[in-house]
């Protein structure tokens, strides 16, 4: 299998994602320049974090016009796995590949801190190696990560189990919308990550690629990347949570 | 801003308005053999400004030690370079952007970060970390506290905006509050990068006939005279008018510039490269030419411009950001252009290297300026400014009091923990992305220094900035020595062996003999300390004229010390780790013995300032031998992995060190007993005295014997003073007295203080 990490002008977590997949998880991975229209041969594509196009106009707004996004749209429609992290999530939302919007953090400041996420849907290709309800610790680092959508959309997301991750307290308890400690950006329904209808495209604001080495604070991000690997090699049925998810 | 007419007649009056003295003007006439034209006047004024020429400091900076076994490049290039093994080098430097940060805090601080980042990647090194030493006026109380909060907010947002978007983690620094910085905030930004030694680039133009290429953002009218008039003069009532002198930064363009430059350098077609910082096109061209012993000729009509009708004067003085000047190999220009085109940046051949040593500028078919490059870059004025120590105080100073009746040490401790200089800086530091690039092993608040792991090596780098303006005001030489010692000690606490340093010297008006005395004393202190601790100075920055309406700041030398951790897995933080671990006080020095000496020393402490309003006496006596022994001891202890955490004793003394070691952890608390042998010592001195050469470490019970044995080898006293617990926080002193309470009561005072002051304001 092979992964691709898209590089837009201004992406700055591309090296981190490449290192996590290539060196830590140990899978073949290459960089995809934003002007490339070649995604063939890839099984999974990561849109990494950063400030693509300097967040000019609106974060993620300009990236959607890059040539690679046309090809990515086809790639996603044919079932390829797409993971958008932070700015990558913002780009997927702007490109219409994921529902909702990402707004300025409630307290209007950039925030870099560890948060806890609960796996709400352990049956996606990005969470199949996790236990349902498992709590993962990984960092956020953004100024515009507050998830929002209209009530009708929210009901649909819940109905279709498209909410993949929610911000929670460290003990797994729900975080309210105004609970700064657990849901620092004030996301609606504490939503940290969502999928598309088919479940092959997921975006999340926290950074799993920053939580794959114990020396840097947490290895809980590994399960997201490992899920993709397991799914691609064994299929949905073959991908299951193991005891040592933190290995 | 009105278009500047290049045909303006140059007069001595005009020269004076440009910040040039009559003597300097006369020298210019002598160099040229004629009067300078207006463009040439502008070029000399920025090149010979204090900020660019170091004319008041050069003769003193020569005394700094700059050689060492790890040093690859000392002062003289865009940044210092240190060998870190495995064919790798660390490239680092600290720089100031003080005056712009008062006039326009957001852009002033942002472009300060941008500037220092360019100094690193112009050497061929990718920046891996940024640290910031910040000084502001008081954010509470009467006076200018609202203004100071506004400046702090703008500076922090500016640093965050630039560093986060560029994609470099901001991993440390310090924030200190003193009234003297109210109208003269200090923003000192340090950047650290890593490169393969064989990939290093220097800013030495070579090869007559080689093309000179301009790359990056277009040139506009922003920042003109940012160096000569903004950074080289005091503030007065007319400071508002200096706003157009503040540069405007775009971190997205700088990120593109970084990637393009590193890629272009890999082609092998780049001969030399320098970023356009203070004095933009002027300094980059004359310095590259001068270093290479060659000349540079440029056709200004080819400079990418984002305003119409820019004059030669404006183009040469513009401080538009995110621009580089390169020299390429003739015949290989296309390779360079292709890289910049890929990244969406302008790259234009604007000139050529010559062999006549002149900086020659053409505009509209005529020679707009013609000046020997050396006279601009290397042969600027050099002053031996008068030095005079201040007269000794006429009346005896009011010293701190010990054990005054009615004093509640518990309450004072809470006040100390909540005081802005000591309180948690989390509200500030979490606005910075401290984790991007996934190299941050020890980040803000987690350890005494920042620790960056290296993906290409088993080593890690530890780095810290420190300085104490108040101590330097009381005793400039000792204050400067303490800055070096504290930064080095902090590096050692994470397991790093200090190997090199960079300094940012922030002072008042050098035309005042007392300021010049402070400066030369600080240089001597830094020299002595750097020699003793084996941390040669590899580069740095001098910022003079930090004063408003005649009142200077405290002399504030800031030191950035770099250390190498041989085995990255040996890096440790400052937080206690396990219930039941022993708390050991390592002490390589000796306390002051007489009550009088203790009072003099204690009068310079944070406690004395916060609780008694006393700023007097002298900094603690500094014992460089003791500091060196403690540093070596800490490096040994960490490399043997027999200590689990280390936190040095500094602001607020032992009590604060113990508390902070609990706060950084996960609900762990402490029970400790201090000064058992000397219960006659004044309790304030025991608890809050700031004498150096000490650190609190935590040790698993099984390792205590080994810790004692290693400490003894370095003649460092190792006293087990307590244990890590999960209960109340308790410090027993002077026999049976104690400060104690639920950990949360102390932690809340410390963690909520800054946030409650700053969040409510906005």
Concerning whether B60 is annotated as a catalytic residue, the answer is no
Domains B1-66+204-380 and B385-423+572-762 share a fold: yes
Full 3-state SS string of A12-78: CCHHHHHHHHHHHHCCCEEEEECCCCCCCCCCEEEECCECHHHHCCCCCCCHHHCHHHHHHHHHHHC
- pTM value? 0.96
A6's enclosing H/E stretch is strand A3-7
List the single residue in A16, A109, A110 with the smallest CB-CB distance to B437. A16
Compare CB distances from B441 to A51, A113, A216 and report the shortest one's residue.
Answer: A216
Q: Closest to A51 (Cβ–Cβ): which among B252, B435, B759?
A: B252
Token digits of residue A233: 């090699």
Q: Tell me what pLDDT residue A197 has.
A: 97
User: Per-residue pLDDT tens for A145-190?
Assistant: 999 999 999 999 999 999 999 999 999 999 987 899 999 999 999 9
The alpha carbon torsion through B753, B759, B760, B762 (nearest 10 deg) reads 150
Largest CA distance in chain A: 45
Bridge pairing between strands B211-216 and B346-354: antiparallel
Q: Say how many CA atoms lie within 13 Å of B540 toward its Cβ.
A: 27
- Burial class of residue B644 (count of CB atoms within 10 Å of its CB; 0-12, 13-18, 19+): buried
Query: Do B307 and B320 form a contact (C-beta atoms < 8 A)?
Result: no
To the nearest whole Å, the CA of A241 is away from the closest chain B CA by 26
pLDDT in tens, B169-215: 999 999 999 999 999 999 999 999 999 999 999 999 999 999 999 99
Cβ pair A216:B165 closer than 8 A: no
Domain boundaries, chain A: 3-238
The 8-class DSSP code of residue A244 comes to: T
Q: Which residues of A touch B (CB under 8 A)?
A: 9-10, 12-13, 15-16, 19-20, 23, 49-51, 53-56, 107-113, 139, 141, 143, 207, 209-210, 213, 215-216
Where in the sequence numbering do the catalytic residues of A fall?
86, 207, 209
What's the CATH code, domain B1-66+204-380?
A: 3.90.650.10
B504-547 pLDDT, tens digit each: 999 999 999 999 999 999 999 999 999 999 999 999 999 999 99
Sign of CA dihedral A226, A230, A236, A241: negative
| Integer Cα distance of B655 and A127 in angstroms | 46
**Residue A245 confidence class, pLDDT cut points 50, 70, 90:** very low
Chain B, nearest residue to A16 by Cα: B437
Contact yes or no for A148/A129 (Cβ under 8 A): no
Average pLDDT of the residues of chain B: 94
Residues with Cβ within 8 Å of A77's Cβ and at least 6 positions away in sequence, in order, are none
Alpha-carbon B9 to chain mean position: 41
Element (H, E) at B686: helix B683-688
Contact B754/B424 with Cβ under 8 angstroms? yes
Give the angle subtended at the CA of B469 by the CAs of B505 and B695, to the nearest 5°. Answer: 105
Q: Which residues in chain B are contacts of A50 at CB distance < 8 A?
A: 167
- Nearest CA-CA distance, residue A127 and chain B, Å: 22
- Residue B302's nearest CA partner among B175, B412, B211 is B211
Is B162's pLDDT higher than 50? yes
Q: Do A54 and B438 touch (CB under 8 A)?
A: no
Q: Distance between CA B510 and CA B540 in Å, rounded?
A: 18
Name the interface residues of B facing A (CB cutoff 8 Å): 157, 160, 164-167, 250-253, 255-256, 343-344, 430-438, 440-441, 453, 455, 568-569, 759, 762
C-beta atoms of B432 and A19 within 8 A: no
User: Residue A55: its chain B contacts at CB < 8 A?
Assistant: 165, 252
DSSP state, residue B178 = -
Q: How much is the pLDDT for B240?
A: 53
pLDDT at B228 over 70: no
> Could you write out the DSSP letters of every residue in B534-587?
T--EEEEEEE---EETTEEPPPEEEEEEEEEESSGGG---SS--STTPEEEEEE
Size of interface A-B (CB pairs under 8 A): 80
Helix axes B653-663, B409-418, angle to 10 degrees: 60
Task: Select from B165, B435, B568 the Cβ nearest to the Cβ of A51.
Answer: B165
SS (H, E, C) B27-38: HHHHHHCCCCCH
pLDDT of residue B2: 41
Contact between residue B673 and residue B733 where contact means Cβ atoms under 8 Å apart:
yes
Domain segments of chain B as ranges: 1-66+204-380, 67-200+433-571, 385-423+572-762
Q: Which of B559, B537, B532, B556 is nearest to B466 (CA)?
A: B559
Per-residue pLDDT band at B232 (split at 50, 70, 90)? confident
Looking at residue B734, what is its pLDDT? 80
User: Whole-angstrom Cα distance, residue B152 to residue B503?
Assistant: 22
- How does B153-188 read in b/e, with b if 16+ C-beta sit within 10 Å? bbbbbbbbbbbbbbbbbbbbbbbbbbbbbbbbbbbb
SS3 B698: strand
- B439: DSSP letter: -
CA closest to A12 among chain B residues: B167
Query: In chain A, which residues have their Cβ closer than 8 Å to the Cβ of B130?
Result: none
> Nearest CA to CA, how far is A11 from chain B (Å)?
8
Here the tokens at position B677 are 């042998």
CATH fit for domain B67-200+433-571, picks 3.40.640.10, 3.40.50.720, 3.40.228.10, 3.30.1330.10: 3.30.1330.10
Q: What is the mean pLDDT of residues B376-383?
A: 94
Q: ipTM of this predicted complex?
A: 0.96
The shortest C-alpha distance from A216 to chain B (Å) reads 5
Q: For residue B336, give Cα distances in angstroms to B269, B349, B471, B480.
A: 7, 10, 50, 45
Distance from C-alpha of B491 to C-alpha of B724, rounded to nearest angstrom: 23
| Structure confidence by residue, pLDDT tens digits, B309-362 | 999 999 999 999 999 999 999 999 999 999 999 999 999 999 999 999 999 999
The CATH architecture annotation of domain B385-423+572-762 reads: Alpha-Beta Complex (3.90)
Nearest residue in chain B measured CA to CA from A215: B441
Report the residue from A113, A143, A210 with minimal CB separation from B438: A210
- The Cα of A35 is separated from the nearest Cα of chain B by a number of Å equal to 10
Decide if A51 and B167 are in contact by the 8 Å CB cutoff. yes
Q: What is the mean pLDDT of residues B623-644?
A: 98
Cα-to-chain-centroid distance, residue B310: 35
For A3-238, CATH number out of 3.40.220.10, 3.30.2290.10, 3.40.50.880, 3.40.50.360 equals 3.40.50.880
Is B438's CB within 8 Å of A56's CB? no
Compare B278 and B425 and report the one with higher pLDDT: B425
pLDDT in tens, B574-591: 999 999 999 999 999 999
Of B251, B344, B433, the CB nearest to A141: B433
SS3 B203: coil
């Amino acid at each position: 299998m092979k992964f691709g990490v898209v590089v837009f002008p201004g992406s700055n977590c591309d090296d981190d994602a490449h290192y996590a997949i290539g060196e830590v998880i140990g899978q073949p991975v290459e960089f995809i320049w934003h002007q490339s229209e070649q995604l063939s041969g890839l099984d999974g594509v990561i849109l990494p974090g950063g400030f693509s196009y300097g967040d000019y106009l609106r974060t993620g707004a300009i990236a959607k016009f890059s040539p690679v996004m046309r090809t990515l749209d086809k790639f996603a429609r044919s079932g390829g796995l797409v993971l958008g992290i932070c700015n990558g999530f913002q780009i997927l939302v702007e490109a219409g590949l994921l529902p909702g919007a990402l707004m300025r953090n409630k307290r209007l400041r950039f925030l870099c801190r560890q948060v806890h996420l609960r796996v709400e849907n352990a049956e996606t290709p990005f969470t199949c190696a996790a236990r349902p309800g498992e709590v993962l610790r990984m960092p956020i680092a953004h100024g515009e990560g507050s998830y929002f959508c209209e009530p009708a959309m929210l009901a649909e997301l819940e109905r279709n189990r498209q909410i993949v991750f929610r911000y929670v307290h460290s003990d797994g308890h729900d975080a309210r919308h105004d609970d700064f400690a657990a849901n620092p950006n004030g996301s609606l329904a504490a939503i940290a990550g969502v999928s598309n209808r088919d479940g092959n495209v997921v975006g999340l604001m926290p950074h799993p690629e920053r939580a794959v080495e114990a020396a840097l604070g947490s290895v809980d991000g590994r399960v997201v990347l490992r899920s993709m690997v397991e799914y691609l090699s064994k299929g949905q049925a073959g991908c299951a949570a193991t005891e040592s998810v933190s290995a | 801003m009105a278009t500047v007419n290049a045909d303006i007649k140059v007069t001595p009056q005009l020269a004076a308005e440009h910040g040039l003295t009559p003597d300097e003007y006369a020298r210019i006439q002598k160099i040229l053999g004629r009067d300078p034209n207006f463009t040439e006047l502008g070029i000399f004024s920025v090149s010979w400004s204090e900020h660019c020429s170091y004319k008041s400091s050069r003769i003193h900076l020569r005394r700094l030690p700059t050689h060492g076994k790890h040093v690859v490049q000392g002062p003289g290039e865009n940044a210092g370079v240190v060998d870190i093994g495995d064919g790798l080098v660390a490239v680092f430097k600290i720089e100031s952007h003080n005056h712009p940060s008062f006039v326009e805090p957001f852009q002033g601080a942002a472009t300060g970060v941008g500037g220092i980042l360019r100094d690193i990647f112009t050497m061929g090194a990718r920046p891996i970390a940024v640290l910031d030493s910040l000084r502001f006026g008081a954010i509470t109380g009467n006076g200018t506290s609202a203004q100071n909060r506004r400046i702090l907010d703008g500076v922090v947002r500016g640093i965050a905006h630039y560093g986060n978007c560029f994609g470099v983690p901001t991993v440390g620094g310090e924030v200190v509050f003193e009234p003297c910085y109210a109208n003269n905030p200090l923003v000192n930004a340090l950047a650290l990068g890593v490169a393969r030694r064989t990939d290093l680039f220097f800013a030495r133009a070579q090869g007559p006939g080689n093309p000179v290429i301009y790359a990056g953002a277009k040139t506009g009218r922003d920042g003109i005279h940012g160096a000569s008039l903004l950074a080289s003069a005091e503030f007065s009532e007319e400071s508002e008018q200096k706003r157009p002198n503040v540069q405007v930064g775009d971190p997205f363009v700088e990120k593109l510039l970084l990637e393009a430059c590193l890629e272009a350098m890999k082609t092998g077609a780049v001969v030399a490269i320098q970023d356009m910082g203070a004095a933009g096109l002027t300094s980059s061209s004359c310095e590259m030419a001068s270093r290479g012993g060659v000349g540079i000729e440029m056709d200004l009509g080819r400079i990418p411009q984002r305003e119409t009708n820019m004059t030669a004067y404006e183009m040469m003085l513009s401080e538009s950001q995110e621009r580089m000047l390169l020299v390429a190999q003739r015949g290989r220009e296309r390779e360079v252009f292709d890289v910049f085109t890929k990244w969406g940046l302008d790259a234009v051949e604007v000139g050529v290297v010559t062999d006549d040593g002149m900086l020659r500028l053409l505009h509209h078919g005529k020679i707009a300026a013609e000046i020997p490059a050396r006279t601009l870059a290397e042969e600027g004025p050099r002053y031996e400014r008068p030095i005079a120590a201040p007269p000794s105080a006429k009346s005896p100073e009011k010293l701190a009091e010990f054990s005054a009746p009615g004093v509640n040490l518990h309450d004072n401790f809470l006040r100390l923990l909540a005081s802005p200089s000591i309180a948690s800086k989390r509200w500030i530091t979490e606005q910075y992305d401290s984790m991007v690039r996934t190299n941050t092993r020890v980040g803000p608040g987690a350890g005494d220094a920042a620790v960056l792991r290296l993906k290409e090596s088993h080593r890690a780098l530890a780095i810290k900035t420190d300085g104490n303006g108040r101590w330097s005001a009381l005793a400039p030489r000792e204050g400067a020595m303490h800055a070096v010692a504290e930064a080095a000690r902090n590096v050692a606490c994470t397991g790093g062996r200090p190997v090199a340093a960079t300094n940012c010297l922030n002072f008042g008006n050098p035309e005042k003999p007392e300021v010049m005395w402070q400066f030369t004393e600080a240089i001597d202190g830094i020299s002595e300390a750097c020699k003793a601790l084996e941390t040669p100075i590899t580069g740095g920055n001098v910022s003079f004229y930090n004063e408003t309406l005649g009142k200077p700041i405290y002399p504030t030398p800031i030191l950035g010390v770099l250390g190498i951790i041989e085995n990255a897995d040996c890096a440790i933080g400052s937080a206690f780790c396990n219930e039941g671990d022993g708390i050991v006080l390592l002490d390589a020095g000796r306390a002051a013995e007489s009550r009088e000496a203790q009072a003099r020393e204690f009068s310079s402490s944070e406690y004395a300032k916060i609780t008694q309003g006393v700023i007097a006496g002298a900094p603690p006596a500094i014992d460089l031998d003791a500091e060196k022994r403690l540093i070596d001891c800490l490096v040994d202890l960490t490399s043997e992995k027999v200590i689990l955490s280390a936190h040095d004793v500094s602001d607020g003394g032992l009590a604060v060190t113990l508390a902070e070691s609990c706060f950084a952890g996960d609900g762990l608390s402490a029970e400790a007993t201090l000064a058992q042998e000397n219960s006659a010592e004044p309790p304030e001195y025991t608890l809050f005295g700031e004498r150096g050469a000490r650190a609190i470490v935590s040790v698993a019970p099984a390792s205590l014997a080994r810790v004692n044995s290693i400490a003894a080898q370095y003649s460092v006293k190792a006293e087990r003073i307590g244990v890590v617990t999960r209960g109340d926080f308790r410090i027993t002193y002077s026999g049976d007295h104690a400060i104690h309470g639920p950990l949360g009561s102390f932690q809340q005072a410390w963690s909520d203080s800054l946030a409650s002051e700053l969040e409510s304001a906005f």
